[in-house]
Structure 1
């Protein structure tokens, strides 16, 4: 984990010389001048990071203390007294030898400029401004990497910017291919990204560039602000867009790690209009039912009135008939 760490542990070995280098530049220089006849019986310890792994990316991210970290590693390896004397000892009986064939620059296959351009294009590099070497592949320049690809000493996938761009391109294709409306906003409620479906909907009235603009310019941002204010992870609501004359169902997710909100929307205008039509039909049916009941009550009342008048006339007629019959009976009795 530290420069000279392996040579410290190895101690002195008969017939073996020990060398240690750290840092990309030092390693590259040593490898360029490395010849078997000059370095016979030599144990070479090499670290890409200057100072060893303890000074690598993790160390830089944590902003630790190099000396304290080195001491901690040595204490863990040797104990607190790591200055103990080490006697000579023979290497164990394992076959540790590995031969590497040496190929000089003159023996390497010559490549043409056209081949280099093709290899660079395969890595997504079409102009000098694309050849900003990051060093992640281990080559000094992108052209050296292209030559290595032609000579089958490297692969296109070793180019991290190319693989990252390829991944982003794939992600964008998936993002844009989604049929739903997707809009991402940062914590300042400004638009970061929109897929094609959202761009077509929101850009249609005014044909303007919306990336970087406040999301309030295209839709209501009250719920988005509520997510931030109350630190919610998920919210759902329904909004109406006056310019587009449409209803949207929104699901908003708070991505705290990337400090942005993903808004997934669905156009529910047809469903909403159908629902409104059903609701209006129900209201109309209820109104018609009320009207029918009212008219039926009027008819019942009219029938009841007619029946009342008929019953009264019948009662009078029956009374007259009864009195006539009784009168006739009395007259007959008097004659007898």
Structure 2
């Protein structure tokens, strides 16, 4: 069963949830994030640290809203003792809950008193090497799934809410519906697990409650207060760090015990990193005869993941809870029962670990050829590059979830692009200082990139167009410019990059093209001139031919006339 839903569209693959996940129960595949339910310990950290709010709790809120409309079922709330830090006026909170449709409200702290008594029994028996409190379902899951060899260190006792559910059903009848409200995500899991959970029917969070009150227009500031259904709830101090130890020593006549009761030293550990360390110490046999109050949340349940978002501070909340708990003085009530035992089971899921050759092959694919290439920077969310490679093999991580590798690749591609292009690329800031200078520009200006950086652009070319781009913040595109000092003609595009406040110039050398155009023009001009000379010459020849033809024709005419006359005259002489 899933208790955390993921909105994949919201996820930006920042890997922040994976970085904060102590047990790495987050999977990234095909650019989508998933919670690995069978490995998750429901600490809720991934929900609170997600900057995109891509993860949400799946609670029983809809079922509870439907339940309160059923008049045939008695509905009793068991509210976690950390409520006093979120809702300072307890009686107004009771009134608000009754207005929502519940029939009664009790404090889970009633059940906590019985749990403390069970812990005392275990201490007095002195049979366990170490005793780890079992009130926190996240810790119970962590041990069952990741350190099952330590299960025999867990106090075999029901949690306060399960005990309280049992008491409520005994008091109001077995058909009564018990609804737990608190700051914890893993409590939703706890009440849905086994036969021990049957006495609590639903669980919702303080955040669920806040939204529900808002939706129903119930203002706790103006509502008429009403009393809790129980007169003397005990062990209200459970939600804060050392709260259970405080309860053991002060509520049950061990006030002068200091930091030790019977053979057990007393220790309080909270926060998953510290919990992980203490579990390792116990596994290594370095800790014995210690009673350890152990909480997944730093500073205890008062810092639970589902506390209202409008809360003040953890330290201030801690003080509120402690002062509230101190309102209950010593009592002579007996909380002795024989039916509060709890069994924990090995739930470890073994993952196959690849061999060294396979690991090396995976690492090589992201440029980690030798040991020095394994930076172990943690940017992917895993502590080491090898841990990430194992996750890749197990299908929990993408191969290229490696920021240094991606950065190096991007830088490499960027450098290739800058250096392969034949265009001159120059970037300057508002002061006209050079910030980028590619290989082509280095060859043109006969200066290295390192020497060019932070020199002024006007040391090389006229910067007026770059200045204009900064002044107008508008690009200049495909402008033809002649740099006489360099003997080149270019097509100049200057782009304003607002975020970096730089102007990027891309200068395409068209000198050769321009020279070819000029040569072609001159060639055409010469051809035209040659053609004109030929035409002129032809005209002169034609005129000369015409003149010669005219003279020849006249001479021919004279000759022919003379011949004609001669012939005629010769004929006359014959007749005579």
- TM superposition score category, shorter chain reference: 0.5 to 0.7
| Cα distance change of structure 1 residues 207 and 178 upon mapping to structure 2, 3 Å threshold | closer
The correspondence of residues 179-218 of structure 1 with structure 2, limited to 5 A, is 179-181=421-423, 182-203=425-446, 209-218=451-460
Task: Please name the residue that 1:274 is paired with.
Answer: 516
Task: Please name the residue that 1:306 is paired with.
Answer: 548
CA distance in 1, matches of 2:214, 2:485: 69
Q: Secondary structure at the match of 1:180?
A: coil
Given the alignment, which residue of 138, 149, 157 partners 2:384?
149
Given the alignment, which residue of 103, 111, 120 partners 2:277?
103
CA distance in 1, matches of 2:548, 2:532: 24
Is residue 259 from structure 1 mapped to residue 501 from structure 2 by the alignment? yes
Following TM superposition, by how much is the alpha carbon of 1:236 offset from its aligned partner in structure 2, in angstroms? 0.6
Post-superposition Cα deviations, 1:186-233, rounded to whole Å, max 9, x if no partner, equal 3444322122222222235x9982223333333343443444455533
Q: Is the 8 A contact 1:253 1:263 kept in 2?
A: yes
Q: Is the 8 A contact 1:235 1:252 kept in 2?
A: yes
Following TM superposition, by how much is the alpha carbon of 1:323 offset from its aligned partner in structure 2, in angstroms? 5.6
| Cα distance change of structure 1 residues 232 and 263 upon mapping to structure 2, 3 Å threshold | same
Task: Please name the residue that 2:538 is paired with.
Answer: 296
Q: Is the 8 A contact 2:490 2:511 kept in 1?
A: yes
| Cα distance change of structure 1 residues 293 and 325 upon mapping to structure 2, 3 Å threshold | same
Unaligned runs of 5+ in 2: 1-46, 49-56, 58-76, 87-130, 137-158, 161-181, 185-210, 230-271, 285-369, 392-399
Aligned length: 251
CA distance in 1, matches of 2:408, 2:226: 53
Task: Please name the residue that 1:26 is paired with.
Answer: none
Task: Please name the residue that 1:232 is paired with.
Answer: 474
Following TM superposition, by how much is the alpha carbon of 1:152 offset from its aligned partner in structure 2, in angstroms? 4.2
Task: Please name the residue that 1:56 is paired with.
Answer: none
**Higher helix proportion (structure 1 or 2):** 1
CA distance in 2, matches of 1:44, 1:17: 10
CA distance in 2, matches of 1:87, 1:315: 151
Following TM superposition, by how much is the alpha carbon of 1:287 offset from its aligned partner in structure 2, in angstroms? 1.9
Unaligned runs of 5+ in 1: 7-12, 22-34, 46-72, 90-99, 110-117, 126-134, 139-144
CA distance in 2, matches of 1:197, 1:163: 27
Q: Secondary structure at the match of 2:133?
A: coil
| Cα distance change of structure 1 residues 327 and 159 upon mapping to structure 2, 3 Å threshold | closer
Following TM superposition, by how much is the alpha carbon of 1:163 offset from its aligned partner in structure 2, in angstroms? 7.3
Given the alignment, which residue of 375, 398, 401 partners 1:123?
375
Post-superposition Cα deviations, 1:103-127, rounded to whole Å, max 9, x if no partner, equal 3264799xxxxxxxx98864399xx
Is residue 17 from structure 1 mapped to residue 191 from structure 2 by the alignment? no
Q: Secondary structure at the match of 2:384?
A: helix
CA distance in 1, matches of 2:526, 2:79: 104
Task: Please name the residue that 2:133 is paired with.
Answer: 37
Following TM superposition, by how much is the alpha carbon of 1:332 offset from its aligned partner in structure 2, in angstroms? 6.1
Following TM superposition, by how much is the alpha carbon of 1:314 offset from its aligned partner in structure 2, in angstroms? 2.7
Task: Please name the residue that 1:250 is paired with.
Answer: 492
Task: Please name the residue that 1:32 is paired with.
Answer: none
Q: Secondary structure at the match of 2:474?
A: coil
| Cα distance change of structure 1 residues 195 and 309 upon mapping to structure 2, 3 Å threshold | same
Post-superposition Cα deviations, 1:289-333, rounded to whole Å, max 9, x if no partner, equal 12211221221222122222223323433454456567778x769
Let me know the Cα RMSD of the aligned residues. Answer: 5.3
Q: Secondary structure at the match of 1:103?
A: helix
CA distance in 2, matches of 1:188, 1:38: 65
